[in-house]
């Protein structure tokens, strides 16, 4: 296994020798060059990921990873930890925002119990992958044991393999977990060296007093775990089971040349971790939006990402990924269906 990498995968950089062929096809469409803006770069990216000038989106899905966090016991969220399990029930009943958007856009929706502090019956759309009933409070111990962390990474990869085997080649990754903006901020701080004040936001809607408490709590946590910027140590110390599973899912999806729709701050924190092992994983990601969570814009800049949407979202659940999905459909559709100047008999500039 490569040194320092918990998963042994082949994730090559995209073949930019193929870029000219796809770009020529885009430029021959009946429009001024570049006039479709980001849709053109999106079509190019999807073509490069799939290594074809005629890309397709098959059995696209959103996978939402849910887990509880021991740190939530300290009041770093405006909502109590019990809300994680309650929202999973809401997902499974079809009542959450992600359910609405997934139905609207014809996306399959899978809910992964990565580590919720509750037991769920076998229900359609639920994947039981619980590592434990929530992580440890990182004020007392690392959030995960080394074994749990690796188990979560491998499980995320395994779940993506199963989706790919079913015919899916486009996957959106989202999450649910009370307290997980704290984990994401701690990971961002540990891996970038940025001050916590640049990483910690209001999460579910903290007021000023609650935000000060959150920042002080996270400052205390950082002093307890020396990670030295090591991604695996940081993930074990501060991560959540849903974040670790997403990191594994990002890596496996890239290795399978799937188009990956990254959601918001927490999902991107998992990608930040994954990119420390395989930097090329970012090449396979479409960044759905920039959220209102402090730190997300900076995180996107670190990942050299250009988000598709800026709607002031801060919900999670993969909601941004679902909202951006129709833009991927439009990019693929114009590339495959729009007439060329020659076909339409239209003079070029």
Q: Which residues are catalytic?
A: 317
The pair phi, psi for residue 16, each rounded to 5°, is: -80, -5
CB atoms within 10 A of CB 167: 8
The structure tokens 């399990």 sit at: 85
* Whole-angstrom distance, CA of residue 173 vs CA of residue 274: 13
* Whole-angstrom distance, CA of residue 190 vs CA of residue 171: 28
Closest CA to 78 of 184, 174, 214: 214
Upper half-sphere CA count for residue 211 (Cβ side, 13 Å):
15
DSSP 55-88: ----S-EEEEEEE--GGGGGS-SSS-THHHHHHH
* Whole-angstrom distance, CA of residue 287 vs CA of residue 297: 11
CB atoms within 10 A of CB 205: 11
**Cα dihedral sign, 183-187-193-198:** negative
DSSP state of 309: B
Closest CA to 223 of 273, 178, 186: 186
């Amino acid at each position: 296994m490569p040194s320092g990498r918990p998963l042994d995968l082949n994730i090559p950089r995209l073949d930019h020798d193929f870029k000219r062929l796809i770009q020529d096809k885009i430029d021959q469409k009946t429009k001024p060059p570049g006039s479709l803006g980001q849709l053109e770069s999106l079509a190019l990216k999807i073509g490069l990921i799939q290594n074809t000038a005629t890309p397709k989106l098959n059995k696209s899905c959103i996978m939402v990873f849910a887990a509880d966090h021991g740190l939530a016991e300290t009041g770093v969220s405006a909502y109590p930890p019990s809300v994680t399990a309650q929202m999973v029930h809401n997902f499974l009943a079809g009542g959450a925002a992600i359910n609405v958007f997934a139905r609207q856009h014809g996306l399959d929706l899978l809910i992964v119990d990565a580590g919720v502090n509750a037991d769920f019956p076998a229900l359609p759309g639920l994947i039981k992958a619980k590592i434990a009933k929530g992580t440890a409070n990182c004020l007392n111990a690392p959030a995960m044991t080394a074994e749990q962390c690796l188990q979560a990474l491998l499980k995320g990869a395994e779940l993506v393999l199963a989706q790919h085997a079913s015919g899916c080649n486009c996957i959106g990754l989202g999450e649910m977990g009370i307290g997980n903006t704290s984990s994401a901020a701690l990971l961002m701080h540990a891996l970038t060296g940025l001050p916590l004040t640049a990483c910690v936001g209001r999460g579910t809607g903290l007021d000023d007093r609650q935000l000060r408490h959150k920042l002080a709590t996270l400052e205390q946590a950082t002093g307890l775990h020396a990670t030295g910027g090591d991604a695996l140590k940081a993930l074990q110390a501060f991560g959540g089971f849903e974040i670790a599973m997403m990191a594994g899912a990002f890596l496996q999806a890239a290795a399978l040349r799937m188009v990956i729709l990254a959601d918001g701050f927490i999902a991107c924190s998992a990608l930040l971790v994954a990119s420390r092992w395989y930097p090329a994983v970012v090449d396979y990601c479409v960044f759905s939006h920039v959220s209102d969570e402090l730190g997300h814009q900076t995180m996107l800049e670190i990942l050299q990402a250009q988000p598709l949407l800026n709607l002031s979202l801060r919900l999670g659940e993969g909601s941004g990924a679902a909202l951006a999905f129709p833009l991927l459909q439009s990019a693929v559709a114009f590339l495959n269906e729009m007439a060329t100047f020659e076909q339409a008999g239209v003079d070029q500039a």
